[in-house]
Amino acid sequence: MKYIGFILLAVIIAIILLLLIAVIRTLLMPGKTSSYVAEEPEEESLALAQKLAKMIQYDTTSHANVAEVEKFLGFHKVLEELFPLVHEKLEKTEIDGNLLFYWKGKSSEKPILLMSHQDVVPAEGEWIHAPFSGDIAEGKVWGRGASDTKCSVMAFFQAVEELLAEGFVPPTDVYLASSCTEEWGGDGAPKIVAELQRRGIELFLVCDEGGGIITEPIGGIHGNFAMVGVFEKGKADVKFTARSNGGHASTPVKGTPIARLSAFVNEVETHSPFRKKMLPEVSAMFTALAPYAGFGMKLVFGNLWLFGPLLKAVMPSLSAQAGAMLKTTIAFTVQKGSDAYNVLPQEAYVGANMRFIPHQGEKESLEIIKKVADKYGLETEVLHANDYTPPVDIHGEAFHLVEQTIADTFPGLPSSPYVMTGATDAQFYQPICKSCIRFAPVIYGPEQMKGMHGLNENIEYNCLPGAVRFYKNLIRAEK
């Protein structure tokens, strides 16, 4: 008993010492504030806003599995009017409404590709400004595609237009790409990639949408931060079906299809079967953000060696976005049972959307959820699935190039790695590029984040000149 007391005392002393070390480290950590705001000449901002407005005014809504080539060929005419030098000087390839431009540089080593999509999601509901008005009001450009992502398309086309006007020749080959099927995960980007493969192109860097200059990326971290996406989670649509002999609802038996489905959903939601892990990219994000947090968050974020397990436990309840970076997720989105209130269904099902994390990828995650479903006698059907993309090397040359370009373009703007919980066209470029980075150089505040795929989509136009400068600096940079 005496030795147990000594051991407990030693453990308590060790814990106190570790906490003291963490507190001292945190107190020594410089306090920082992200004070970056876009302060641009009004005349330049408005000129770019007008170009973006004309792009928004052309409706490029895409629909799953519907070929609408003529619609996008019409949009290409708008681009040609807005960016004549790009179309005059660069080699253009059009593939079923998808665009690829080639700008020959001084060297063909380490070519880069700038991309974002032309298509937009449907615009439903009542809008303050009509969804395809392109209205410029209240310091914003309004309309579907303003932030997702015609702003990026406009910015990199404008960047090349201005560089061509200067007679600039890039140090390496530059490609511009834009698909017309991104919003429904169609075959547009794969067709562009197939063309690049036919030409034997291996890209040094792809810069697509995904991350961006995010206002308050995590609750408690205030200001603007360049969140640079370094990989995408995989995804799947999965159907879980329960069957029975049916019957009249007046004489119900136990274990009806809906009851089994409900029990299954409840178990998964209350006791997640997926393992949480702090990936290196996520740890790097928390470390980068730590100096900008209040003392409590700074203590935790700045000392992951001690508080990592605690953070893994509490983060999902503090921030759904941050929590999704720690594990595979599943969200139940569709359900169907009987067509009548007084009939027990012979078949009922729920549908779910899953997002796979690298430490439990597509195969393992699907096996885990199937085992849970089997407990309730459910059939599991995978309707669609693709795995996560390999992470970009956050210590590598391409990532550092983007970080340096951000620092040069936006003085005072902190940057951090970021995990994409959604999907982009960049996933299709993995076979020809090891560094597919997701970063749109525009500011996404709460209003802009809410408007993506929702009502009243808009972008503040004073951030557009900075976006153009970012792409110009990235093109100019020696690789």
Among 7-21, 68-82, 220-234, 345-359, the range scoring the smallest mean pLDDT is 7-21
For residues 173-194, give the mean pLDDT: 97
For residue 58, what are the contacts with CB-CB under 8 A and spacing of at least 6?
74, 75, 78, 132
For residues 45 and 228, give the distance between their C-alpha atoms in angstroms, rounded to a whole number. Answer: 24
Packing angle, helices 42-57 and 464-476, rounded to 10 = 90
Q: Which helix (H) or strand (E) holds 8?
A: helix 2-28
357-402 per-position pLDDT tens digit: 999 999 999 999 999 999 999 999 999 999 999 999 999 999 999 9
Contact between 212 and 444 (Cβ < 8 Å): yes
89-145 per-position pLDDT tens digit:
999 999 999 999 999 999 999 999 999 999 999 999 999 999 999 999 999 999 999
Question: Residue 445 in contact with residue 457, Cβ under 8 Å?
Answer: no
Percent of the chain with pLDDT over 90: 77
Segment holding 151, helix H or strand E: helix 150-165
Characterize the bridge pairing of strands 112-115 and 174-178: parallel
Q: Which residues contact 320 (CB under 8 A, 6 or more apart)?
A: none
* 3-class DSSP state of 333: strand
Confidence of residue 29 (pLDDT cuts 50, 70, 90): low
* Residues 6 or more apart in contact with residue 352 via CB below 8 angstroms: 237, 238, 239, 240, 330, 331, 332, 333, 334
Confidence of residue 37 (pLDDT cuts 50, 70, 90): confident
